[in-house]
Amino acid sequence: MNALTATQVADPQNGAYDVVVLGAGPVGQTVTARIQSAGLTVAIVERELVGGECSYWGCIPSKALLRPVLAIGDARRVDGARDAVTGPIATAGVFGRRDRYVTHWDDAGQIGKVAATGAHVIRGHGRLQGQRRVTVTTTDGKERVLTARHAVAICTGSTAAVPAIPGVAEARPWTNRRATDSSEVPARLAVVGAGGVGVEMATLWRGLGSEVTLLARGPGLLPRMEPFIGQYVARGLSDAGVDVRTRAHVVELRRRTSTDPVTVVLEDGEELVVDEVLFATGRTPNTADVGLETVGLTPESWLDVDDTCLVDGADGGWLYALGDANHRALLTHQGKYQARIAGNAITARAEGRPLDTDPWGTDVATADSAAVPQAFFTDPEAGSVGLTALDATQRGHRIQTIDVNIGETVPGANFFADGYAGQARMVVDVDHGYLLGVSFVGPGVAELLHSATIAVAAQVPIERLWHAVPCFPTISEVWLRLLEAHRETVGAHSEPTSAREPGNGRVRTTPVQPNSSRV
């Protein structure tokens, strides 16, 4: 951890700023830059490393570690290239690559970047002390008082949730932090949880040589995505040698010392013996000790916000919560989007300007409910944006789902990988003729996701999508296959049907549910 310099510790504002930001991860940095660029003064407070969870224990290290594993998988899917993969993965090189991307857990560069915007960086723990007032306990044990003329933004992120089961303290389980900063490969690893972190870490550690058992409490993997995605990912993990178990509920852990194996006890009485156990079972907000009780809010809670990220229940219109803290979408890119929106709103309110709150306006986070993209770097990759078919139906939309087998229909996919296996789906709003959601699974599909995000967020009419010509021969030709499958059903959506299942696509139309309301 790099210490702040004397010039950064100096307080040119004497504790009074236009905005105080708690948390200097990507979300806090983004809102700070947006506000600072408008000419307002900002103090940003960080109790750990400037750069936050994403930079040092989340997205950055996990993707740095996963890329070598996935690159080998890609090579093995191409005739001629697979013959060049002749030995085991070099774990020292993989860990060294990770270390470079996390700058060896030294945040000097990020401190300099934030300070260069003109913001005042303060190392310490910040707590609210009533409206627009923050007390910071600095790393040298001193206490400083900051006041915010216009806003305080809580950007404190979240922490891995570990269930309170018997033996968990003694077992000292891994969370995402240990899973991404470890430089030792456990011989046997149990991964508990089948969301994004669980499936990515199972992919990673199996690729590095661990015997991995993935324990999913529900019936499938990646339960918030389309079911077929979890099926493809489960098959990919199984093919790689992961023992994938669904409906597996961990009820107890047993471990005598830190060097002993861990016994994982399942609800059905089975016992698994592993060297380490990783919990990827959700997140809890870092709001336990930020002074919420001093402004009438409940500590340790997720913070409800409006579409400008203004916190509900905080009088006076000055408290904002961005990123994980508001629980809208626990994704770095979505938190940064919220930071841009909130930065606009804070600036407009500070300057006394009316907000642009029209749908998809510059001051409202409409995408949080309509166009959230997410990608998971498993083998095969998984990506989606917007609503699943189930979500759309539950919200009252009348939909068509258009499914395409990518390997069977897209020549460019098979140039990318011999025998390409993957699937794409688009969820079409029948009454408005645009996309509500798009999902992909297959090698390399994460790079398709932004085109889908544009189509969903812009509500591009399907007729206009025909004029967005995909290059030949690329995987992006899947868009043409999806549109062709949809065209064959135009005019057939007035009645709910479960149509054909040929090589080119599968189409289903779903009626509006009785007594439902459109969102």
Using DSSP, state whether 472 is helix, strand or coil.
Answer: coil
Distance CA 279, CA 271 (A): 17
In sequence order, the 6+-apart residues with CB closer than 8 A to the CB of 399 are 389, 392, 393, 427, 428, 429, 430, 436, 509, 510
Is 324 within any annotated ligand binding site? yes
435: left (phi over 0), alpha (psi -120 to 50) or beta: beta
Using DSSP, state whether 411 is helix, strand or coil.
Answer: helix
Distance CA 308, CA 345 (A): 6
Is 158 within any annotated ligand binding site? yes
Q: Residue 432 — φ and ψ, nearest 5°?
A: -115, -15
Is 207 within any annotated ligand binding site? no
Is 282 within any annotated ligand binding site? yes
**Amino acid identity at 100:** R
Look at strands 143-154 and 16-22 and give their pairing: parallel
DSSP bridge partners of 265: 252, 271
Is 73 within any annotated ligand binding site? no
In sequence order, the 6+-apart residues with CB closer than 8 A to the CB of 216 are 193, 194, 198, 244, 245, 246, 247, 248
CB atoms under 10 Å from CB of 285, counted, come to 24
In sequence order, the 6+-apart residues with CB closer than 8 A to the CB of 147 are 15, 16, 17, 20, 132, 133, 134
Is 198 within any annotated ligand binding site? yes
Look at strands 120-128 and 133-138 and give their pairing: antiparallel
Is 412 within any annotated ligand binding site? no
Is 45 within any annotated ligand binding site? no
What are the E-state strand segments in 325-377? 373-376
In sequence order, the 6+-apart residues with CB closer than 8 A to the CB of 452 are 373, 383, 385, 386, 426, 435, 438, 440
Using DSSP, state whether 258 is helix, strand or coil.
Answer: coil
DSSP characters over 272-330: EEESEEEE-S-EEES-TTS-GGGGT--TTPPPPB-TT-BBTT-TTS-EEE-GGGGTS--
Is 126 within any annotated ligand binding site? yes
CB atoms under 10 Å from CB of 458, counted, come to 13
Is 199 within any annotated ligand binding site? yes
Residue tagged 């025909």 (tokens): 466
Is 200 within any annotated ligand binding site? yes
Distances (CA, A) of 222 to 44, 365, 447, 481: 35, 25, 19, 25
Is 291 within any annotated ligand binding site? no
Task: Answer for the pair 404, 505: CB distance below 8 angstroms, yes or no.
Answer: yes
List the structure tokens of 494: 């007035």
Is 510 within any annotated ligand binding site? no
Binding residues for FAD: 63, 126, 156-158, 324
Binding residues for NAD(+): 193-200, 282
Binding residues: 63, 126, 156-158, 193-200, 282, 324
